[in-house]
Chains A and B, each alone.
Chain A
């Protein structure tokens, strides 16, 4: 079946690195995404990775993909209070002739001084 799992909470100290983990089920997923949701707002795309890549780096963000274990992670270096938000992992899965996105439940990141 289609399922994306994430831990629900993560608390880190300002300046430390945050690592948010995600597992997915569809081995044929071609795209995997990380979205960020700040309080009272919709989701905003942070980054995405193609399934033929192992790693993608974008400034303070590093995405690691382990296709064998169907494991995706998002590392935020030098975490700031402005990074406090809910982070959603999503896989693109093929259904009914088109791709649809399956989201995880979201990881709430709390950054404390």
Chain B
């Protein structure tokens, strides 16, 4: 069974640009969560999707958005990039309807550098 796949693994952008990151969950998993990981802040919850609906959202500005497709693949978008957006973005999938009552399966992340 393939794991959670995130693309791209690494990318470099400049301030003001926008970026789209992709996540393919484990086959059969319908819940996808996104986290931002930075050395100073640790893991910060961005949002969670289930069956194409955003069910939960963290405390991030509206520049951060996401969506989920009917095949459970998810994308997140960051517009008007700032230097502080440089981070490792992690996607996690769950086979449970309530993803936080069991194991989350994480991808290896997309490392974004904003210059």
Binding site for B on A (CB under 8 A): 30-31, 35, 40-45, 48, 88, 92, 95-106
Contacts and interface: CB of A to CB of B under 8 A. Distances in A.
A106 B42 contact: yes
19 contacts: A41-B108, A42-B4, A42-B109, A43-B43, A43-B90, A43-B106, A44-B106, A45-B103, A92-B101, A96-B55, A98-B99, A100-B48, A100-B100, A101-B45, A103-B42, A103-B43, A103-B45, A104-B42, A106-B42
B48 to A, nearest CB: 7
A101 B100 contact: yes
B101 A42 contact: no
B106 A100 contact: no
Nearest to A93: B100
B70 interface: no
Given A31-B100, A98-B56, A103-B35, A88 B108 contact: no
Contacts of B41: 105
Contacts of B25: none
Interface in B71-98: 90, 92, 98
A99 B42 contact: no
Given A43-B104, A101-B33, 16 more contacts: A30-B101, A31-B100, A41-B108, A42-B92, A48-B103, A92-B100, A92-B101, A97-B55, A98-B98, A98-B99, A100-B56, A100-B100, A103-B43, A103-B44, A105-B41, A106-B42
Interface in B15-63: 33, 35, 40-45, 48, 55-58
Contacts of B103: 45, 48
Nearest to A104: B42
A67 to B, nearest CB: 18
A92 B56 CA distance: 13
Nearest to A40: B108
A104 B37 CA distance: 11
A95 B56 contact: yes
A99 B98 CA distance: 7
Nearest to A100: B56
